[in-house]
Amino acid sequence: MDFQLSAALASVLGLRQGDDFSRRIDLPGLAPRLAGPLGNRASAAATLLAEVSGTETCDGLVRDIGAFLPFDSAVRDLATTGHLMKLLARRTAYQKLRDWRIVGLPNEIFDRVSWQERNDFFRPGVCHTFDGDLFRIPEVVEMLAREGRIIGMSK
């Protein structure tokens, strides 16, 4: 996976680090959880998601979001609940036409959700997790210590 999930998307899918992505999700049960928090746009979002049916694995949903992410109209560097809503609302059109660009077309409600989750993800002061043993490499430890000293002196 070449992208990260917003905290909201991970939460709505019930995912935590190391979870089993092969777990199946009831899509009709997911739709109200997605639309509910949208305030005065919840009714419109629920209507757009009304035809959602079946089940899908978390892995399948995340894979499909990743497939249209490069074509999304709003956010292309983070998977969000806005993307999940686009995917679910446009699933029938995608299945007929097999073109991910269709799923990524603009939607005022879903794009706003994606923008907000992206802003939350990249807000100032947030430090994201890192893979591996970077903080045990002596050169990295020294580099970060040096940067810390320089930044501390500039305050």
Q: What DSSP string runs through 2-59? A: -SEE-HHHHHHTT--TT--TT-EEEHHHHHHHHHGGGGGGHHHHHHHTTT--SEEEHH
**pLDDT tier, 151 (very low <50, low <70, confident <90, very high otherwise):** confident
The predicted model scores a pTM of 0.83
Q: Among candidates 137, 51, 31, 127, which has minimal Cα distance to 92?
A: 51
- With cut-offs at 50, 70 and 90, classify the pLDDT of residue 128: low
pLDDT for 17: 67
* Paired tokens of 131: 């893979």
- The reported pLDDT for the residue numbered 1 is 67
In the chain, what is the greatest distance between 2 CA atoms, to the nearest angstrom? 61
pLDDT digits (tens, 9 = 90+) for 129-138: 666 678 888 9
Please provide the average confidence, as pLDDT, over all residues in the chain.
90
Residue 22 confidence (pLDDT): 86
**Mean pLDDT, residues 33-60:** 94
Give the residue from 11, 137, 1 showing the smallest Cα distance to 81. 11
Q: Would you place residue 18 in the very low, low, confident or very high pLDDT band (cuts 50, 70, 90)?
A: low
Tell me what the mean pLDDT of segment 140-148 comes to: 89
Judged against a pLDDT cut of 80, whether residue 66 lies above it is answered with yes
pLDDT of residue 134: 80
